[in-house]
Amino acid sequence: MTSDKKQLDLTAIRERLRAQTGRDYWRSLEELADTEEFRELVHREFPRQASEWTDEVGRRGFLKLMSASLALAGLGACTTQPLEKIIPYVRPPEQLVPGKPLFFATAMTLGGNAIGLLAESHMGRPTKIEGNPSHPASLGATDAYSQASVLSLYDPDRAQAVTERGRIRSWTSLQVALAAEIDTLKTRRGRGLRILTETVGSPTLRFQLQELLRALPQAKWYEYEPVNWDNRREGTRLAFGRPMSFHYRLDQARVVLSLGSDFFCSRPESVRYARDFTARRRARENPSDMNRLYVVESVPSPTGTIADHRLPLRPSELGRFAQALAARIAGGQPGDGETPGEHSKWLDALARDLSANRGQSLVIPGEFESPEVQRAAHQINSALGNIGKTIEYTPEPDGGRTSQSDGLRELAGEMGDGQADVLIILGANPVYAAPADLKFAERIMKPRLRVHLSPYLDETSRLCHWHVPETHFLEQWSDAEAFDGTVTIVQPLITPLYESRSAHEIVSLLQGRYRSGYDSVRDYWRSQQPGADFEKFWKTALNDGVVPGTGSAAPMAATSAVAPGAQRPQQGRTDTQGDRGEATGGPERRQTGAASPPGSTTQPRPGQRAAAPLVALQSPAQKKSDLEVGSTARPGGASLELIFRPDPSVYDGRFSNNGWLQELPKPLTKLTWDNAALLSPRTAERLGVRSEDVVELRYHGAAVQAPVWVAPGHADECVTVHLGYGREYGGKLATGAGFNAYRLRRSDTPWGGPGLEVRKTGERHRLATTQAHWSIEGRNIVRTGTVEEYQKNPHFVHEKEHGFGPELSLYPEYEYEGNAWGMAIDLNACLGCNACVVACQAENNVPVVGKDQVIKQREMHWLRIDTYHEGNLDNPKTVHQPMLCQQCEKAPCEVVCPVAATVHSSEGLNDMIYNRCVGTRYCSNNCPYKVRRFNFLQFSDKETPSLKVMYNPDVTVRDRGVMEKCTYCVQRINAARIEAKKEDRPIRDGEVVTACQAACPTHAIVFGNINDPNSQVAKLKKLSLNYSVLGELNTQPRTTYLAALRNPNPELGTE
């Protein structure tokens, strides 16, 4: 072909181009030359010989050809296949039995704090996360984030290879590139090297980084997380003169006040708090001992919904409220002017209640509230003698560090003026998440070499030279510290799926010698355990998920008090502990807490306060603007307060490519796939906006457009925006969802402040919610009462029955010889935290459907949290009700299925036979609880290879056209049954734990055999608080609910 191809006449081409007018695109020189050959090529499209079959096929010819083809067709099968050897396990790994999962202890870190987990592994594939019962932050339960982490591991959008400016490179080439850089850095003693990490919760990594800084003293290491604990730290500094860590012992507290803290959900140790709190919440055994919770908050939160008294105040008001309360309890000046008169009754009652419970009360400052609020909380706790009893302080390990926000500002400055030459970012995504005023995206272009380690190719990766995929915690060796110092060794469940590395490995590379994460972690712990039998130590640590000797020996035990000297305030003060005479206090027991008052008498006296080592209540540092804006009169202008909060589903944006979390209905708003500007009904009315109206939020010069969501119970005159949305890069699901609230964020006021302007744009944005109706319409679906009512009449719950007389049924009752499974859900303990929803999704291969389908009301969650408001719009009472298949005894779904695809099992479950289902959806229509879910389309992803690996092998992956629903985790029942049969014994109580029950931080869900009168669930069902939802339909549900009890302060009534 080439032989006769004429040389391209370039001059002719130039001529032709010159002759052309206008814009005319060309693809190749051949086209431009417009040669004969090219025309023919275009004409034929195929090469000459094969392009057409010119032979006219006659009948005979055709038959000959076809018969030959037919005869020879079989020959193809005779090709020898290449030899591939498959090798069976000659000696299978110990304990590996196909079909039986293994559990390994590990931990997940969020915000620098770990929660101990057990990962379920099926034939080497982690498929499900459970809590680690021996870990203090978990106690066997989990939060929604850790439940969803499995999906992040198998996320097909994860970065899969080392890249340099977008081109795939080998790991070696990065090593080579960095090695050269390290050599020059060494000669400069590290000058110009800047390392940015997230909050480091790993002792090994901290040690590695410190070692690196020792070797390169001029290098600098910054920690920054958009959701950081700066204010918490600053608050303790204000109160005690130096930063401290602290945690609460909610099981010791009778009266709890939250000043804007969503402590059930916002902290890594929240799972533990929820457990401790609800331990004293269960009034049924000892109603008079029930704790009481006051919540003062700006943004409606799960914590607020379980409160006995809730007061919505905007942040500035909340600050004044805290000051006023501190003044009342701890003495001192009551702040600028008296507190809002309308709240004085509240304040008085609250102060009295707290004071009456000295040592048994607790004031929890909001993590994101101003340091002044934090300080006030510490003061009050100190004045009430709570320190060491309901709140414990430990010195901050690295107290001298600047705050994260200041650190990031410093780094941005250094990048801007060229001091940062080499920038290594480990895990963080500052281009997306840094406050807008730092202009990070602009300044990051200054350092000469930028290396980014992160799980996704995100906003930051795109502006860095090198990107290294980061290992998921289920793929890496590491360690992680919990809130109380307990360390867990993070062990991998699977070899990294892609060419990814951990931070340990990158740091070791910077140290000049690459070491695997395993070596780094092991060596660190070997150095920590001199003399001891290291192998034994190591194995115990891995097995238990807790490094022996770290943290408090018994979680939250009184002996976990730390040495007071370590946290002596600068003012200096002699320790006056030891004279309290608690039963538990031994001679070595020391009351910690520098701020604890000398000798705690029952009544706080102002004079006493003077001796306390607290810094003056009236601090000059107090922000004047707070007080100016916080007037009781509603500001007439358009200026509102802005509040930033981490998103309850995607947190700071790190989970925004996780479909389970994206589709997780956020507590209270039930929003999915979007964030919104939350504001109170009254404010919405004043601004003339409705839900889904798009408004422009203007804050200190920055502006974003956001859809409005009117949130009942939100404080007036302020707007909440959640972080973590509006991603530009970072996965298919992450991009395009919501708006980026970071654009409004400023480094000096990271959690918002006054000065927000809201302007209606006239546009609308459709938001996908899973619940459209919030009123209970006078129905008795959720039942609540007060402790007083309960004490007066333990059966008050049943007086709320609609009552239609004796129920008759056409069908005879079932008889159960063996087990009869049932569930009881304690509404008093349900916080609406969503952990169970994701747990159910992970366990049962529940598909994600996407925003469009959620709008069409086709979400697939087998377990949903119904939220009902009652009372006025501005401060409604809210109750959560987990709603799942009720496994009715007289199930309406069973009788209407034409093909017997849903049938009653011999143990009382409504079994769903996916194979048999033809999809008439009659069962769903006839289900009064609407807990059945239908695969309207092919929702399950059966194509993506990584997701195939993720599915729970014990649960069918459903196809389109099939109905599905909660099965009480029948696969777990069957697993337990097999075990029991092998040992020839009945299934024990507590042996079958459903996924939702296992995940629940508060033990609100109890499952078991109701035929066994001694089972926990049978006992609960005998309680007078127990009731059936829609019992009057005679469906006889196996799932019953315990009514929620509240413990309001008689002084305040049940307003």
* Binding interface with other proteins (CB under 8 A): 771-779, 781, 802, 804, 853, 856-858, 864, 866-868, 881, 883, 892, 895-900, 916-922, 924-926, 928-930, 932-938, 960-963, 1029-1030, 1033, 1035
How far apart are alpha carbons 226 and 864 in whole angstroms? 30
Nearest to other proteins of 486, 769 (CB atom): 769
- How many Cβ atoms sit within 10 Å of the Cβ of residue 321? 25
Helical (H) or strand (E) element with 975 = helix 970-982
Q: Which residues are registered as beta bridge partners of 641?
A: 718, 754
First and final C-alpha spacing in the chain = 92
Smallest gap from residue 910 Cβ to other proteins (A): 13
Nearest to other proteins of 807, 1055 (CB atom): 807
CA angle 707, 713, 719 (to 5 degrees): 40
Nearest to other proteins of 628, 870 (CB atom): 870
Smallest gap from residue 738 Cβ to other proteins (A): 23
Half-sphere exposure of 272 (CA within 13 A, CB side): 23
Q: Which residues are registered as beta bridge partners of 707?
A: 694
Nearest to other proteins of 174, 849 (CB atom): 849
- In 3D, which of 1002, 1041, 830, 1004 has the Cα closest to residue 251? 1002
Sign of CA dihedral 111, 116, 120, 124: positive
Nearest to other proteins of 368, 934 (CB atom): 934
Report phi then psi at 209, rounded to 5. Answer: -65, -40
Q: Name the token pair of 702.
A: 């920055």
Nearest to other proteins of 729, 936 (CB atom): 936
- In 3D, which of 794, 795, 802 has the Cα closest to residue 778? 802
CA distances (Å), 941 to each of 912, 959, 966, in order?
A: 21, 9, 20
Nearest to other proteins of 153, 1029 (CB atom): 1029
> Are the C-beta atoms of 305 and 878 separated by less than 8 Å?
yes
CA distances (Å), 306 to each of 720, 781, 876, in order?
A: 21, 17, 12
> Are the C-beta atoms of 1032 and 801 separated by less than 8 Å?
yes
How far apart are alpha carbons 1038 and 1029 in whole angstroms? 10
Smallest gap from residue 390 Cβ to other proteins (A): 36
How far apart are alpha carbons 321 and 296 in whole angstroms? 9
How far apart are alpha carbons 729 and 471 in whole angstroms? 19
Smallest gap from residue 851 Cβ to other proteins (A): 14
Q: What is the DSSP string of 691-720?
A: TTEEEEEEETTEEEEEEEEE-TTPPTTEEE
Nearest to other proteins of 433, 863 (CB atom): 863
Q: Which residues are registered as beta bridge partners of 164?
A: 167, 466
Nearest to other proteins of 344, 925 (CB atom): 925
- In 3D, which of 149, 404, 396, 142 has the Cα closest to residue 269? 142
Smallest gap from residue 897 Cβ to other proteins (A): 5
Nearest to other proteins of 524, 934 (CB atom): 934
Nearest to other proteins of 258, 672 (CB atom): 672
- In 3D, which of 369, 376, 364 has the Cα closest to residue 643? 369
Smallest gap from residue 808 Cβ to other proteins (A): 14
Burial class (CB in 10 A: 0-12, 13-18, 19+), 534: middle
Smallest gap from residue 1017 Cβ to other proteins (A): 23
Nearest to other proteins of 518, 814 (CB atom): 814
Smallest gap from residue 924 Cβ to other proteins (A): 4
- In 3D, which of 455, 463, 456 has the Cα closest to residue 434? 463
Sign of CA dihedral 258, 226, 666, 675: positive
Nearest to other proteins of 325, 923 (CB atom): 923
Nearest to other proteins of 145, 939 (CB atom): 939
Nearest to other proteins of 620, 778 (CB atom): 778
Smallest gap from residue 569 Cβ to other proteins (A): 51
Q: Which residues are registered as beta bridge partners of 994?
A: none
Smallest gap from residue 919 Cβ to other proteins (A): 2
- How many Cβ atoms sit within 10 Å of the Cβ of residue 682? 16
Smallest gap from residue 1040 Cβ to other proteins (A): 15
Cβ neighbours of residue 674 closer than 8 Å, sequence gap 6 or more:
707, 725, 737, 738, 765, 767, 768, 851
Smallest gap from residue 805 Cβ to other proteins (A): 12
CA distances (Å), 146 to each of 474, 792, 802, in order?
A: 11, 42, 41
How far apart are alpha carbons 358 and 349 in whole angstroms? 15
DSSP conformational letter for 942: -
Smallest gap from residue 1041 Cβ to other proteins (A): 13
Smallest gap from residue 300 Cβ to other proteins (A): 17
Nearest to other proteins of 178, 671 (CB atom): 671
Nearest to other proteins of 891, 999 (CB atom): 891
Nearest to other proteins of 942, 960 (CB atom): 960
- In 3D, which of 339, 127, 260 has the Cα closest to residue 644? 260
> Are the C-beta atoms of 997 and 965 separated by less than 8 Å?
no
How far apart are alpha carbons 517 and 505 in whole angstroms? 6
Smallest gap from residue 930 Cβ to other proteins (A): 4
Smallest gap from residue 855 Cβ to other proteins (A): 10
Smallest gap from residue 937 Cβ to other proteins (A): 4
Q: Which residues are registered as beta bridge partners of 309?
A: 294
Smallest gap from residue 899 Cβ to other proteins (A): 5
How far apart are alpha carbons 755 and 495 in whole angstroms? 50
Helical (H) or strand (E) element with 383 = helix 371-383
Report phi then psi at 624, rounded to 5. Answer: -65, -35
Residue type, 812: P
